[in-house]
Structure 1
């Protein structure tokens, strides 16, 4: 029997929006940090400005309309509902491309690259640059279902994505991702399922070898220093969610400001914004992303992905085997964990594209959409 794929239209109950307004009207704020700047996390002033906009100017119905206009669907895979966007190009020979977000991202993380990829002739490209896009919400994220059993790690998600592309009857496709989406995409590459022709990554988690450290160039030494700084200064969220995700789950579920601060900290710390994310992200874009965690109560279940995947990776060291299918990589300067082209060649057998950019950070699709679109086009140019 053919699997069911159902169109989905969002229409959040007004009572849920009223409940959010009520909670935002009754905030008990912490005192300001005695340390100037952001060393201890988001500043009281910046969070208060974000929440004031949330309370007085933000319009969820605008965001809801945007999602509904993109073509949402639901299908059940491996016992869980998968919410996804499916945007087909008007160009007949467009290549199917699977885009996978991470944390604290969402399907809306890709909003600024959707039309340039789907409709390239309106954005400086040619018909040969066109893609059909499949953009799923990972289990426990957004409006996908919430896992009720252990085991939903990146490997299981990758298996679900293979099934999703099969259900959509795509026999020749590529995959792209950053953050956890990069790990899912790398896992797909290691699985090498029929039809997957290549991948593109804008984040590459890796451990340098002793020889690589010893032979590091000046630029590579800077990469190692940045990665160390990330580990010591910015990774508290990851360590907590990898070991005790349920500890933070109660706050993420009950407090919209607590959830917003938890997510805002990442926009602040790993973007190319000099710790001032309002410089590069609109308040509405940040709040749209936060709402895709608040409304479906996905804060707790998304946090558990860290625990699940860390458990799986500890038990499967072979997950770091060399990738043998064609790969493109984009490196952005404010990404805290970066690798050089030589280090990439040591890990990817067929590196078909490697680009280092002068602007952008961890949220490449939001920070530097033109650069990311160009790199995706270049990666798949000969893989169609």
Structure 2
């Protein structure tokens, strides 16, 4: 019989609308209650659609002409609202999601959800991908299958991966953690997942947004098992232009544009950060049962943090993807618990740059329209930097913004894995 603890997904202890296969637990980790998992959230869809349809938005902009400077535009929300009720098909999307191999495992009294796609290559490297907010495991779906296939690095070395994509505690199908939970706790649980549940002695990891926190903690604190780390974000606050100048760091034209993106975000784009870091209950309770509210709150980030050419190749970040992501948050009732990651980690982004206690290789990928920027000299301060690539296309969600670039950069791990 499936335990109720394995189905607990949110702060209120509500049961998620999921089904868990009663098939025999896979591999050798029966004491972690490792089981295949199937997504079944259809029961919640009628209410979600009813709320979306019944939400009365203003007929016209109250203050026309301000554009995106005041946040997401009314016309954008109305367009997404219409698409959500007319064009978006959760049942179709759910069927696509269930084509991946999902599992849950009980670790430290939490039910941890993850995707595990194995390569047919016996020499494949286990790779743990860490998402942030308002992301989820969805942001890595465009890269999973390619990463499991045999390919070569830039120097011709063969490379493929066993890909593991967990949902962070409090996100989607993973249980909400205790109140004092930190990214270091998440790292410890994910290390257990990789080494004890799945049996990988060593692995590589990738992190972006708040997922950079557990990824860096794995790199720093679990360096016997984490033998390579790749980042598109760092758990260290970027430096403003005057501090970069004080460090004698000069920027190229591309880097100046990226630095300006950070300056803009830090002055007019980070109010959400302060709200979620100080009053998560206020925004969490306000939007927990409000799909259009969640769409406005999170959709604005997907749009403003991404490449202006989002939705055109190679980007796959279109309106359907935004609606899928918002639907996942709403249907799993995880919005409130997800924003708590900011409140639980007041020092999640450090102001003092320190070097990790490891000799494992560190790789970094910058994307022009990300909201934060770290030049190569800063990244080198926090680890054994062996690769730094800067891409002119893409933004904060590289797995959606520029999947081919992220795939190729991740494959470069193979150039350094034999030295790990």
> When the two structures are superposed, what TM-score results if normalisation uses the length of structure 1?
0.91
Q: CA deviation at 1:375?
A: 0.7
* 1:204-261 CA-partner distances (Å, limit 9, x unpaired): 2334497643223143655544322211111111111011111101222121000011
Q: Say which is worse superposed, 191-200 or 155-164, in terms of deviation.
A: 191-200
Query: What SS is found at the alignment partner of 1:241?
Result: helix
Q: Does 1:267 align with 2:305?
A: no
Q: CA deviation at 1:123?
A: 12
Runs ≥4 in structure 1, deviation > 4 angstroms?
121-127, 220-224, 277-280
Partner of 2:264: 229
Q: CA deviation at 1:11?
A: 1.6
* 1:245-290 CA-partner distances (Å, limit 9, x unpaired): 111012221210000111111112211117xx55552222111111
Partner of 1:243: 278
User: What is the distance in 2 between the residues matched to 1:292 and 1:38?
Assistant: 25
Alignment match of 2:69 (pick from 39, 57, 64): 39
- What are structure 1's unaligned runs of at least 5 residues? none
Residues 294 and 126 (structure 1 numbering): CA distance in 2 closer, same or farther, change over 3 Å?
A: farther
Alignment match of 2:398 (pick from 364, 369, 384): 364
- Listed as ranges, the matches of 1:141-156 within 5 Å are 141-147=171-177, 149-156=178-185
Q: Does 1:206 align with 2:227?
A: no
User: What is the distance in 1 between the residues matched to 2:203 and 2:31?
Assistant: 21
User: What is the distance in 2 between the residues matched to 1:211 and 1:362?
Assistant: 23
Q: CA deviation at 1:299?
A: 0.7
Superposed CA RMSD: 2.4
User: What is the distance in 2 between the residues matched to 1:297 and 1:359?
Assistant: 33
Query: What SS is found at the alignment partner of 2:41?
Result: coil
User: What is the distance in 2 between the residues matched to 1:376 and 1:45?
Assistant: 38
Q: CA deviation at 1:313?
A: 4.4
User: What is the distance in 2 between the residues matched to 1:79 and 1:317?
Assistant: 32
Q: CA deviation at 1:345?
A: 1.8
Q: CA deviation at 1:126?
A: 8.1
Q: CA deviation at 1:10?
A: 1.4
Q: Does 1:23 align with 2:51?
A: yes
Q: CA deviation at 1:128?
A: 2.3
Partner of 1:6: 35
- What are structure 2's unaligned runs of at least 5 residues? 1-29
* 1:89-124 CA-partner distances (Å, limit 9, x unpaired): 111211100001000111110111111101245999
Q: CA deviation at 1:332?
A: 0.6
> When the two structures are superposed, what TM-score results if normalisation uses the length of structure 2?
0.84
User: What is the distance in 2 between the residues matched to 1:195 and 1:145?
Assistant: 25
Contact 1:33 1:40 (8 Å CA) reproduced: no
User: What is the distance in 1 between the residues matched to 2:194 and 2:300?
Assistant: 34
* 1:167-201 CA-partner distances (Å, limit 9, x unpaired): 10001210001101112111111103432111000
Contact 1:173 1:196 (8 Å CA) reproduced: yes
- Listed as ranges, the matches of 1:61-140 within 5 Å are 61-121=91-151, 128-140=158-170
Alignment match of 1:163 (pick from 187, 192, 201): 192
User: What is the distance in 2 between the residues matched to 1:33 and 1:80?
Assistant: 45
User: What is the distance in 1 between the residues matched to 2:201 and 2:175?
Assistant: 26
Number of residue pairs matched? Answer: 376
Q: Does 1:355 align with 2:384?
A: no
User: What is the distance in 1 between the residues matched to 2:124 and 2:157?
Assistant: 8
Q: Say which is worse superposed, 192-201 or 177-186, in terms of deviation.
A: 192-201
Contact 1:140 1:298 (8 Å CA) reproduced: yes
User: What is the distance in 2 between the residues matched to 1:55 and 1:123?
Assistant: 44
Q: CA deviation at 1:343?
A: 2.0
Residues 122 and 201 (structure 1 numbering): CA distance in 2 closer, same or farther, change over 3 Å?
A: closer
Residues 124 and 197 (structure 1 numbering): CA distance in 2 closer, same or farther, change over 3 Å?
A: closer
Contact 2:170 2:176 (8 Å CA) reproduced: yes
* 1:27-70 CA-partner distances (Å, limit 9, x unpaired): 12145251331011111111111111110111111221122111
User: What is the distance in 1 between the residues matched to 2:167 and 2:184?
Assistant: 15
User: What is the distance in 2 between the residues matched to 1:377 and 1:24?
Assistant: 41
User: What is the distance in 1 between the residues matched to 2:37 and 2:151?
Assistant: 29
